[in-house]
Structure 1
Amino acid sequence: MTPRQTRHRDRVDAARPRGIPEATVARLPVYLRALHALQDRGVATVSSEELAAAAGVNSAKLRKDLSHLGSYGTRGVGYEVEYLVYQISRELGLTQDWVVAIIGLGNLGRALAGYGGFASRGFRVAGLLDADERIVGQEISGLSVQHIDRLEDVIGEHGVSIAVIATPAGAAQGVCDRVVAAGVTSVLNFAPVVLSVPEWVDVRKVDLSIELQILAFHEQRKAGGPDGASGLNGRPRGLNGSPPEPVQYVEAAE
């Protein structure tokens, strides 16, 4: 384990006694997004009910989540938006800049590189890398794409904290191994594959096809569901949405 990885593990261990549940951590960015929208509208205070509605949760859950941050609001007034933004930002580590490298500059990687919301949320993209010689040297959002052979150099030169992997599935694990060996301890994975990493490395996976399949499940349920349930036209639906073939019953021979 490198000194950088050791420091990250120590920070994680030090944070554990605070006891903030992972589910709460996952909702904090949603609250922060809603709060930023309130700030843009010039709203100074917000009730738990209003903030919960904006975030898509119930108010009791929101109050419990925010209590883990030591924020309880003021009865009859609510939460001070600016201070709550600061509290959540501090808890998420967004009061400092985090350096990001994006690896894989296909269509998805290019879209990520061109996303303007990183800088305003505390993330600075400092490196773009790809293995395709036709892409290397191209300029995307003010940065020149470098060859994947320079991966370790880019991580070291810029102090990359987070690696975004947007490569094809077959290349993702090898790239992940290299970024971890170079000292990166946080990975955002867009490749359609499960990455194997040491216990001190945090991986977040974003799989658009899985999300679409989950939506397809809910669409199917709205239409009547599988297992012979009725579709929108009152008839059972097959796997492709068409009526299933009729079942023929044959009596068994004596």
Structure 2
Amino acid sequence: MKVYKIPEATVMRLSVYSRYLHQLLEDGIDTISSGEIARGVGVSSAQVRKDLAYFGEFGTRGVGYKVEELYGHLMKILGLDHRWNIILVGAGKLGSALALYRGFADRGFNICTILDVDKDRIGSRLGDIEIESIELIKEKVRKYKISIGVVAVPAPAAQDVTDQLISAGVKAILNFSPRVLQVPNDVVLRNVDLSVHLEVLSFNLALDK
């Protein structure tokens, strides 16, 4: 699995910062300090400055940051200054919810093809997209120049689907299945296991008992 020098936690915070700055733009706010950003997203001002320092110098000492300018920098750093085509594999309940979630498109992620193995689902539609057979995976990746694959299949099928995506040329995978996947060093893998987040919550609740 590909590993980068910038801490993943920093990248996640940059995403939060960008969303907060977008809210400020909608509210008509022109400038902001690191302390105000920190209070808005729930971290320290030192953390904000440290995260931004990985990518250069922003803002003016004693004045702060121009919101629109900083937002533009963060969108470029996050690769959100252009659109990414996505292939979604798995059209069950989770896959359907992901396919219909409008927030992806708002951030530049375009789900352009949905594949499944269930013959009862193939041919039906999720929004504007027709569900097609997973046998078309290589054709679809090539046709739409897919950058990111989303795996929303049951755990037993997740590794096989991931292998097919990689074989088709996909270099970044978002895994929603509760299975640890194996990928080559040149592939970026991100796991989203909702039960893990619930377990973190239960851990914190248990500490308070």
Give TM-score scaled by structure 1 length.
0.78
Aligned to 1:144: 130
Match in the other structure for 2:106: 120
Amino acid at match of 2:124: Q
Q: Give the deviation of 1:26 after TM superposition.
A: 2.5
Moved more, 40-49 or 190-199: 40-49
Q: How many residues align?
A: 208
Cross-structure match for 1:175 = 161
Q: Deviations over 1:10-32 (max 9, x none)?
A: xx9xxx6xx53333222211111
Q: 2:182 aligned with 1:199, yes or no?
A: no
CA contact (8 A) 2:58 2:70 kept: no
- Once residues 156 and 122 of structure 2 are traced to their aligned partners in structure 1, the CA distance between those partners, rounded to angstroms, is 20
Q: For the residues of structure 2 that align with 1:33 and 1:112, how far apart are their CA atoms? A: 20
Deviations 1:78-98 (A, max 9, x none): 111111111111111111111
Q: Deviations over 1:100-151 (max 9, x none)?
A: 0111011111111011112221111111111111111111121001111111
1:153-186 Cα distance to aligned partner (Å, 9 max, x none):
1111101100000000000000000000111000
How far has the Cα of 1:75 moved from its partner?
2.4
- SS for the counterpart of 2:80 is coil
Distance 1:174 1:208 in 2: 21
Separation in 1, partners of 2:54, 2:203: 34
Contact 1:69 1:87 in 2 (8 A): no
Larger Rg: 1
Identity, % of aligned positions: 45
Q: Which residue of 1 aligns with 2:96?
A: 110
Residues 34-113 of structure 1: pairs in structure 2 closer than 5 A: 34-113=20-99
Determine the C-alpha separation between the residues in 2 that align with 1:105 and 1:87. 35
Q: Which runs of 5+ in 1 are unaligned?
A: 1-8, 224-254
Shift of 1:72: 3.1
- Counterparts of 1:129-168 in structure 2 under 5 Å? 129-168=115-154
Range with greater deviation from structure 2 (87-96 or 165-174)? 87-96
Q: CA RMSD in A?
A: 1.5
CA distance in 2, matches of 1:82, 1:88: 10
Runs of 4+ in 1 over 6 A off after TM superposition: none
